[in-house]
Amino acid sequence: MKAKGRTAEQKLMQRFARRTVELAGQIHDSAVKVLEGEYDRMNLEYLHTMRPLGTVLRKIPKQKNVQLREELKRQANNQRERLDSYSRYLQERTEALRAWKKGTPSVKEVYQEIVAASGEMNGFFCEKQCIGFKTKAIEFEGVYLGPFKVYVTVHQVGERPWNYTVVAMDPHRHPHDSNLTHPHIGSDRLCEGNGKAALTSAAKAGRMFDFLTMIRSIVETYSPVSPYADIESWAGGSMCSNCDRRLRGDEEYGCHDCGNIFCCDCTGVCSVCEDTYCSNCLRRCETCGERLCYRERCANECSCHEEEENVEVKEEEKAVAENTGGVAGGAYTFRGSQVA
């Protein structure tokens, strides 16, 4: 007995399947067009290379001057050599195109790729002429950039049967260039770097699954070698020279001695001059343990140094008083005696 109607989930699945098949067909057609475009381009290049030789060969019989005729023959020989070299290149190119044609994906293969990608990628979606997915929230070295959405549209670009953009869903733009949402994404274009050749190879073969996983790998990796902008410049602040913690403007402390920037945990204050110093530019007084900078003035004015001096002054005065038999400066009284 035939089941009545379809559940909402079944309808959704059918819609997804239908869209995926349509898209797979469009991608296949686009891949075939890319290949045909390569053949056309090769033919045009060959004609373009042949033309100069033809021009020179036509001039030779008309040239009466012997010297100039010899020069034209020399040019013709050069052109022939160039044409021979180009013919060899074309032969290699033709073999490569034959292999490419052999590897051009069927509609079924593209469909399988898209279905596999839907199971692999988070937030995968499939719409008319567009598929894509959502990355995890990206964070590099404590700098939060948010998640990104990758949109792949069936639109031939160069050797690829499709194009794509990478859009920030919660943009944390670079403070000095609002087009940058990621160290490797400018104006929603991903700079593919080391992945470029492999991405083109996957696109030409219709390997959508591999293509999308590689895009994800690039977006989730920070390369300090040649980004649009270093991640350090993103937060707009500096880093502690000791513990590398990222600092906002109000969290920065400059060392009065070395001049480097530190966080509050990596700095201290000289108990004499009360200036801020890093841990390398502060020391502990050997006597009282107070933190002191290395300036002589502060070492001399340490509180324990003052106490020592006070003790020394008192002992001197006592000694003077003993020698003179009286009070020196009124500072002392003898026990059991009245001081006049």
Partner 1 sequence: MKVLFINNSGGGFADNVDVAEGTTVGQFFEKKMLDCSPEDVLIRVNRMPVTSDVVLFNGDRVSMTPTKIEGA
Interacting residues toward partner 1 by CB under 8 A: 103, 112-113, 116, 120, 183-184, 190-195, 197-202, 205, 207, 209-210, 213-214, 217-221, 223, 225-227
Question: SS in 3 state form for the chain?
Answer: CCCCCCCHHHHHHHHHHHHHHHHHHHHHHHHHHHHHHHHHHHHHHHHHHHHHHHHHHHHHHHCCCHHHHHHHHHHHHHHHHHHHHHHHHHHHHHHHHHHHHHHCCCHHHHHHHHHHHHHHCCCCEEECCEEEEECCCEEECCEEEECEEEEEECCCECCECCEEEEEECCCCCECCECCEEECCEECCEECCHHHHHHHHHHHHCCCHHHHHHHHHHHHCCCCCCCCCCCHHHCCCCCECCCCCCECCHHHCEECCCCCCEECHHHEEECCCCCCEEEHHHEEECCCCCCEEECCHHHHHCCHHHHHHHHHHHHHHHHHHHHHHCCCCCCCCCCCCCCCC
Least distance between partner 1 and beta carbon 208 (Å): 10
Output 221 or 280, the one with its CB closest to partner 1. 221
Least distance between partner 1 and beta carbon 210 (Å): 5
Output 57 or 198, the one with its CB closest to partner 1. 198
Least distance between partner 1 and beta carbon 61 (Å): 50
Least distance between partner 1 and beta carbon 131 (Å): 15
Output 211 or 277, the one with its CB closest to partner 1. 211
Output 163 or 201, the one with its CB closest to partner 1. 201
Least distance between partner 1 and beta carbon 214 (Å): 6
Output 28 or 207, the one with its CB closest to partner 1. 207
Least distance between partner 1 and beta carbon 86 (Å): 24
Output 114 or 281, the one with its CB closest to partner 1. 114
Output 214 or 240, the one with its CB closest to partner 1. 214
Least distance between partner 1 and beta carbon 159 (Å): 12
